[in-house]
Amino acid sequence: MNRGLLLVVSGPSGTGKGTVCRALLEKRPDIHLSVSATTRKPRPGEIDGVSYYFMEEEAFRSMINSDGFIEWACFCQNYYGTPKEKVEEQLAAGRDVILEIEVQGAMQVKSEFPEAVFIFVVPPSLEELEKRLSGRGTEKPEVIHERLKTALWEYSNMEKYNYILLNDEVDKAVERFISIIEAEKQRVERNDDWVNKVKERI
């Protein structure tokens, strides 16, 4: 059985990447979305074990020390990390896995899993991003300013990714996302069982 595809999705906060990923999963429940661990406090409506595994810094550090993360990063004064075990298990079972993570973590994944597919979600414009960041209404102005600064830094890393996924409308973005997944699965290097079968006959 072929291993699942590891899909790494990044994009400044406010690009709607979370919304796009959730809408994708509705259409493609066969895909597994990895649940990250974080030391950030839960926002209203977030559920432990579903949105994130919410942790104290000490527990997070001990997980780093026991090599429990595929990658981890400090982002806006909080720690975030991808727990290793579940992702490995799903990929080995042939299931495609999405990691919705920021740029520093994505680059760690790139060095460990060069075969992963890196997708950068963008809003229609920078002005729209600013509007979306302020529109969430759950953060203080200084937090929004900090996030916009971080967002611009994240944009500057865009060229390290394989695809730019425009999120102008969620449905359209999901269609584009599915096209990327399907095209990636047809790549010659992901179908070497076919190539090898032909070679055996020559």
Binding interface with ligand 5GP (CB under 6 A): 13, 36, 40, 71, 73, 75, 80-82, 100-102, 104-105
Rounded least distance, CB 117 to ligand 5GP, Å: 16
Rounded least distance, CB 198 to ligand 5GP, Å: 40
Position closest to ligand 5GP via CB:
105
Facing residues of 120 across strands? 10, 164
> Smaller CB distance to ligand 5GP: residue 4 or 81?
81
Q: Do the beta carbons of residue 79 and residue 72 sit within 8 Å? A: yes
**Main-chain dihedrals φ then ψ at residue 66, nearest 5 degrees:** -90, 15
Q: Where are the alpha helices (DSSP H) in the chain?
A: 17-27, 57-65, 84-92, 103-112, 126-135, 141-155, 170-185, 192-201
> Smaller CB distance to ligand 5GP: residue 16 or 81?
81
Residue with tokens 């102005």: 141
Rounded least distance, CB 105 to ligand 5GP, Å: 2
Rounded least distance, CB 147 to ligand 5GP, Å: 8
> Smaller CB distance to ligand 5GP: residue 141 or 197?
141
Residue with tokens 């969430």: 136
